[in-house]
Amino acid sequence: MALPPAVRLMAIGTMLVFSFLCIQIYRAPSSLSAGGKHAIKIKDMPRDPNLDPTLEPPEPLHRVSGNNYAPDNANSNRINATILSLVRNEELPGILQSMRDLERTWNHKFNYPWTFFNDVPFTEEFKKATRAMTKADIRYELIPNEHWEVPSWINRDLFRESADILKEHDVQYAHMLSYHQMCRWNSGLFYKHPALKDMQYYWRVEPKVHFFCDVDYDVFRFMQDRNKTYGFTINLYDSPQSVPTLWTETIKFLASNSHYQHPDNAMKWLTDKERRPEHTQEANGYSTCHFWSNFEIADMNFWRSSAYEEYFEHLDRAGGFFYERWGDAPVHSIALGLFEDARKIHWFKDIGYQHIPFFNCPNSPKCRGCVTGRFYDGDATLAKEDCRPNWFKYVGMSPEWAVSKDD
Ligand SMILES: Nc1nc2c(ncn2[C@@H]2O[C@H](COP(=O)(O)OP(=O)(O)O)[C@@H](O)[C@H]2O)c(=O)[nH]1
Ligand SMILES: [Mg+2]
């Protein structure tokens, strides 16, 4: 029986829309577009690029001259940016260690303010000791209850039962409710704090991290001048058991929001199944590759965009921050890999960094205290957690680092 013309038209229309959506969702960057034609692609990373000499990125860079970055200069060259840290009072020795390193290598020159966040008030001891570490302004901020508390739609019994299962799969911190709260806050709430209302850029710092290399230019202005959204140092695999349905939820979100995908995205990096096929399989299509977010230098306008806001809202409602252990690192990384131009994501090759057990240690006379090219400390099995080879393969290093190649 022939279909009436109106029904036929509707069927054809539905098929066209469906095909369009499928193409949009799986539209991966071509090898020319991801990272741009000037990006430095490396196939299979035969040797660690940190063994090659690292210079500063090319000029122009903003540097200290006279009092242009003095702490009390009301007309300084600083932009709307802060170093920020979520930290507990009991982690005071650890945060002092991180401050000492970052002040020594960078901030004693530029005097960007520090903003500390906590879910309980900071003690006087904490304030006094941290104030003594810097000439820059420091702000101590309490997280509003509505940003930290477990959302009303989370069922506590289900949380506990899910945590039992996560624990059986060796997922760290499964039963630690505050760890789940912390991951959720770092994913989608920190930039909504009233203290950050006028801030655009931030550098995230955790207790007990190390910085090894002198950095003599204003990294926030670098981000602004070169139109970068996000800077990372370390790129890792995650435990697939901590994110079993994160990718499924992401695909659901994309099904009705495909317009948010950037044409020059990093989908291939997010979905690679060649390097660790079992990881991609266990995480239901997500390679688990992510920027290690204990270090982030980023533009909060990205998190404040409707693409990210709606994505976070979708994930938050799905409950995986509690029923699974979705971290802010994979959540941020998936969003960046889908919604942002991959060229706007920068590897800060020149910032020597360690959060136990991984390093970024460049080959530069500006660095002290780390072993050039060393990626991890400890068991040799940690080597396979390195996901930089996929980033360099699919997206490539920022063209800024081309100068060090001929050196
Ligand atoms: N104020 C506060 N900070 C927390 C809490 N849980 C974690 N953090 C902070 O969140 C960051 C990540 O926590 P951390 O224990 O280092 O997690 P890991 O690096 O994944 O092992 C660190 O800066 C911690 O100080 C919490 O309950 N309260
Ligand atoms: Mg940590």
| pLDDT score of 402 | 78
| pLDDT score of 403 | 57
Give yes or no for residue 95 CB within 6 A of ligand 1. Answer: no
Residue 124 catalytic?
no
Shortest-distance ligand to the CA of residue 242: 1
| pLDDT score of 39 | 81
What's the CA-to-centroid distance between 86 and ligand 2, angstroms?
Answer: 10
Least confident span in 19-23, 61-65, 199-203, 327-331? 19-23
- Number of other residues whose CB lies within 10 A of the CB of residue 194: 8
With a cut of 50, say whether residue 401 has pLDDT above it: yes
112: DSSP letter: P
Beta bridge partners of 115: 84, 139
At a CB cut-off of 8 Å and minimum separation 6, what does 112 contact? 78, 81, 82, 83, 136, 203, 220
Name the strand (E) or helix (H) holding 22: helix 5-26
With a cut of 70, say whether residue 404 has pLDDT above it: no
Kindly indicate whether the domain formed by 41-405 is annotated with CATH number 3.40.920.10.
Answer: no
Identify the residue whose tokens are 């306008």.
Answer: 301
| pLDDT score of 34 | 62
Instruction: State the pLDDT confidence band at 37, using cuts at 50, 70 and 90.
Output: low
Residue pLDDT, tens place only, 350-367: 999 999 999 999 999 999
Least confident span in 2-11, 63-72, 248-257, 310-319? 2-11
Instruction: State the pLDDT confidence band at 16, using cuts at 50, 70 and 90.
Output: low
The answer to whether 188 touches 312, Cβ cutoff 8 Å, is yes
| pLDDT score of 46 | 79
The greatest distance separating any two alpha carbons of the chain, rounded to the nearest whole angstrom, comes to 85
| pLDDT score of 6 | 62
Residue pLDDT, tens place only, 149-184: 999 999 999 999 999 999 999 999 999 999 999 999
Q: In the chain, where are the structural domains located?
A: 41-405
| pLDDT score of 313 | 98
138: DSSP letter: E
Name the strand (E) or helix (H) holding 392: helix 388-394
Identify the residue whose tokens are 């590759």.
Answer: 289
- Strands 230-232 and 345-347 turn out to be parallel
Give yes or no for residue 294 CB within 6 A of ligand 1. Answer: yes
Could you give the CA distance from residue 175 to residue 325 in angstroms, rounded to a whole number?
10
Least confident span in 303-312, 353-362, 378-387, 396-405? 396-405
Give yes or no for residue 207 CB within 6 A of ligand 1. Answer: yes
Q: Which whole number is the average pLDDT over 77-103? A: 98
Going by C-alpha positions, the residue among 7, 385, 36 that lies closest to residue 228 is: 36
Mean pLDDT across the chain: 92
| pLDDT score of 398 | 83
Could you give the CA distance from residue 109 to residue 138 in angstroms, rounded to a whole number?
16
Could you give the CA distance from residue 147 to residue 189 in angstroms, rounded to a whole number?
6
Residue pLDDT, tens place only, 283-330: 999 999 999 999 999 999 999 999 999 999 999 999 999 999 999 999
| pLDDT score of 294 | 98
Give yes or no for residue 182 CB within 6 A of ligand 1. Answer: yes
| pLDDT score of 213 | 98
Q: Whose CA is nearest to atom 28 of ligand 1?
A: 88
Which of 176, 179, 355, when mutated, tests ligand 1's pocket best, judged by the most ligand atoms within 8 Å of its CB? Answer: 179
Active-site residue, selected from the candidate residues 91, 103, 249, 296: 296
What's the CA-to-centroid distance between 373 and ligand 1, angstroms?
Answer: 28
Q: In terms of DSSP H, where are the helices of 92-155?
A: 92-102, 108-110, 124-131, 145-148
| pLDDT score of 208 | 98
